[in-house]
Structure 1
Amino acid sequence: MAGEIRDARPDDAVAIAAIWNRVIRETTATFTTEEKGEGALRTWLATQQAAGRPVLVLDDGGCVGFATWGRFRGGPGYAHVAEITVYLAEDAQGAGGGRRLLTALEERAQTAGLERLIAGISGENEAAIAFHRRCGFEEAGRIPGAGRKFDRLLDLVLMHKPL
């Protein structure tokens, strides 16, 4: 997929909300059921960037995907590990944009001194599990029934990649 990988700007909040909220409403790719508002996402973008956690976007005439990381767990013993998020607009999937975003995110993570990335993936999301495997992640564990969405219990698959 063509397009530029760049740092998110405040005006990307609308597109990020559209991408994320579709995933929240229509899929089990995330277990959350609360949609993200534009104002809250602008605040989140600023907070992420102030904390040294990049939010990258794939800009192909507008934001069609984004990637970031957050803390895996609290406490100083986990400071070298981050949990990633990568989402693409539905019509941008399958064209290599996700891999480009993840590769750029990994480069930023290495520069930041992180040593390992974690992906928490719904057990139903076979496409995401396969994507992460192709990108060098290995399954580290599965927690049966860890999440609930659409009145169903869902497994959480944890995958990791050393940097």
Structure 2
Amino acid sequence: MNSAFTIEPLTEAHYPAVAAIYAAGIATGNATFATEIPAWPAWNESHLAAARLVAVAADGTVAGWAALTPVSGRCVYRGVAEVSVYVSPTQQGQGIGQALLHHLIQESEAQGIWTLQSGILRENEPSLALHRRFGFRDVGIRERLGQLHGQWRDVCLLERRSQVVGA
């Protein structure tokens, strides 16, 4: 573990910093199709209660976050979740994304999640590389899946099957 930051459970108290990091990701135009930051109640409701993490820098600032979203309400998909990992632009390149994804995988498996998936905009090469480094495999590309600011965008689908849960 990098001594410059610690990984902690994400709480409502962290959300202003989480929202700011999410806003920075939105501003890149390559992190998400979202264009607005949800208020805490909406964000809280849309993400799984388990496996919500923040990376906290030595000075106490939130440097990044990771969380899981259920892919479906159907019980057959209870062990499948979508990954979100965001790192503050001022903290990138320090291993924070790697630490968050590592801990997110461990926590997801502890919660019985057998498949993690991620839909990443094709241009987001750092995120694609990060996920592949942690054993996510390319499933395919959904071409022209959606528009962002009037431009059609492709989404790369990646997934990671647990070697522990459901093996």
Match of 2:63 in 1: 64
Match of 1:114 in 2: 113
Distance 1:136 1:95 in 2: 20
For the aligned residues, what is the CA RMSD?
1.7
Q: Is 1:134 paired with 2:136?
A: no
Aligned pairs for 1:8-157 within 5 A? 8-36=10-38, 40-41=39-40, 43-44=41-42, 46-47=44-45, 52-60=49-57, 61-157=60-156
Contact 1:142–1:158, Cα closer than 8 Å, also in 2: yes
CA 1:31 to 1:45, structure 2 compared with 1: closer, same or farther past 3 Å?
A: closer
Deviation, 1:44, is 4.4
Q: CA deviation at 1:148?
A: 1.0
Paired residue type of 1:53 = A
For this pair of structures, how many residues does the alignment match? Answer: 158
TM-score, length-scaled by structure 2: 0.87
CA distance in 2, matches of 1:45, 1:152: 26
The CA distance in 1 between the partners of 2:65 and 2:117, in whole Å, is 17
**Identical pairs, percent:** 31
If each structure's helix is expressed as a fraction of its own residues, which one has the higher value? 1
1:90 counterpart SS class: coil
TM-score, structure 1 as length reference = 0.89
> SS of the residue aligned with 2:105?
helix
Q: Contact 1:82 / 1:118 at 8 angstroms: preserved in 2?
A: yes
Structure 2: give runs of 5+ residues left out of the alignment: 163-167
The AA in structure 2 aligned to 1:74 is G
